[in-house]
Amino acid sequence: MKKTITLFFVLSIFIPVIAQDSTVNKIALLPLISNGIDLASVQTAESILRMELSNASTMNIISEKKTLAILGNENCADEDCAKEIGEKLEAKQVLLCKLNPLGEKIIVQYVLVETSTGNNLLSERATATSLEDIDAVMKRVAISVAKQKPFNTNQEVGNIVGQESLESLRQKARYNFGVGFGYLFPSDGYDNDNKKSFTINGYFDYEIKDYAVGLMLGARKGFAINLYGNYLFTKSDFCPYAGGALGFHWVAHEGLLSDDGLDGDGIALGIQGGVRLFHTYNFQIFIQGEYIMTFNDYNDKAFVFTIGIL
């Protein structure tokens, strides 16, 4: 009997808590409201927003079917209505989103309402330069809502919108070329000369998803040409990276002038890492450290430190 009473007591405590957690951790996305934009485009934008919100948020997204059942044939366009619908859906938050054309642009306005108080947790606007730009805008809106941060604080490679490209140096494309300069510090070989030497490199660089691959042409106590690949740890403006390079390096040695029979050229292998700054802009500053090994008769090894711009 005591065990039964104890079990009943425990359940009486935890069941309400579980039930409460299942309701407060929900967010409702109301149907997008638009004036002057075709229905198919609005529905596509809403579908993208719902999917991206599901990916970005830890909250449960209330289904479209359930939301429409509560709304009926009515439109919900203000905070008071959103609070009322949120209470009926037992949602912690409700997201309102409007698409309004302005010339060739589309103004996206969105408000995140807290159901319990009716207060605005977030009230933002963004601009799509065309219907094709809506995809990137909806992704950014979802991140903004999930983090409850302003729209313009979550720029990443892959989600730069057209208006930002027009108003700043931010870009969507990721074809880069540039130059870096610095010093080579011998650690082995190099005629046992430990003095640093100046190096300058040219880069042809392309970013794909989380990687940057490219070609490097360098003057580093001789001549070098490498293919390289780096893993990019973030998509934000501060982007650490690490990777490697493989290519050819001809190292200038004093013995080569007297024809000692040794080859100064060979396959080169490099291990590198660094950081890219202003990563979402159409220029990038990079700082890089690299350890290079040249498989020649002199067994040349060195550290290379460079700074440059892409």
DSSP β-ladder status, 60-61 and 26-29: parallel
The more confident residue out of 5 and 252 is 252
pLDDT at 94 over 50: yes
Inter-residue contact 106 to 117 (CB < 8 Å): no
What is the reported pLDDT for 21?
45
Angstrom distance (rounded) from CA 227 to CA 205:
10
- Greatest mean pLDDT among 24-28, 29-33, 268-272, 298-302: 268-272
What is the reported pLDDT for 178?
95
Angstrom distance (rounded) from CA 48 to CA 130:
16
What is the reported pLDDT for 209?
83
pLDDT at 23 over 60: no
- How big is the chain, counted in residues? 310
Instruction: Give all strands (DSSP E) within the chain, no chain letters.
Output: 26-29, 33-34, 60-61, 93-102, 105-114, 120-128, 175-188, 197-208, 211-220, 222-232, 238-251, 265-277, 285-295, 300-309
The more confident residue out of 181 and 19 is 181
**Location of structure tokens 């209505």:** 81
Binning pLDDT at 50, 70 and 90, where does residue 147 land?
A: very high
Amino acid at 14: F
Lowest pLDDT segment from 64-73, 220-229, 250-259, 282-291: 250-259
**Location of structure tokens 């596509």:** 44
Query: At residue 297, what are phi and psi to the nearest 5 degrees?
Result: -70, -15
pLDDT at 262 over 80: no
- Which domains can be identified in the chain, with CATH numbers? 20-167 (3.40.50.10070), 175-309 (2.40.160.20)
pLDDT at 96 over 60: yes
CA neighbor of 268 nearest in space, from 193, 211, 184: 184
**Paired tokens of 176:** 């880069």
The more confident residue out of 72 and 108 is 108
Angstrom distance (rounded) from CA 215 to CA 284:
17
What is the reported pLDDT for 288?
97
What is the reported pLDDT for 191?
82
Angstrom distance (rounded) from CA 237 to CA 99:
29
**Overall average pLDDT of the 260-284 stretch:** 89
pLDDT at 8 over 90: no
**Paired tokens of 308:** 């440059």
Inter-residue contact 4 to 69 (CB < 8 Å): no
What is the reported pLDDT for 256?
60
Cα Rg of the chain, angstroms: 29
Instruction: Give all strands (DSSP E) within 115-237, no chain letters.
Output: 120-128, 175-188, 197-208, 211-220, 222-232
What is the reported pLDDT for 19?
45
What is the reported pLDDT for 158?
75
Give the model confidence (pLDDT) of 210-244 as tens digits.
999 999 999 998 899 999 999 999 988 999 999 99
What is the reported pLDDT for 2?
52
DSSP β-ladder status, 26-29 and 93-102: parallel
Angstrom distance (rounded) from CA 190 to CA 299:
8
Taking all residues of the chain, what is their mean pLDDT, rounded to a whole number? 86
Angstrom distance (rounded) from CA 212 to CA 290:
16
